[in-house]
Amino acid sequence: MADEIADRLRREAEAVERRANLEGQTAVKIGLIEENTRLIEERRGEHATAVDLWCKLWEPLGVEAGSRAEMDEFLARARDMAADTVALRDLDGKAAVLSATIGRCADDLRVSFAKHQISQKIH
The pLDDT tens digits for 13-49 are: 999 999 999 999 999 999 999 999 999 999 999 999 9
Residues 51 and 5 in one domain: yes
Amino acid at residue number 62: G
d(CA 97, CA 91) in angstroms, rounded, equals 10
Dihedral sign from CA coordinates of 85, 91, 95, 96: positive
Residues 120 and 73 in one domain: yes
Q: How many alpha carbons fall within 13 Å on the CB side of residue 84? A: 6
Residues 110 and 56 in one domain: no
For residue 122, is pLDDT > 60?
no
For residue 52, is pLDDT > 60?
yes
Residues 75 and 44 in one domain: no
- Whether 65 and 55 have beta carbons less than 8 Å apart is answered as yes
**Exposed, middle or buried: residue 66 (CB in 10 Å: 0-12, 13-18, 19+)?**
middle
- Whether 108 and 114 have beta carbons less than 8 Å apart is answered as no
Residues 98 and 38 in one domain: no
Rama region for 117: left / alpha / beta (φ>0; ψ in -120 to 50; rest): left
Domain end call among 46, 65, 84: 65
Residues 14 and 31 in one domain: yes
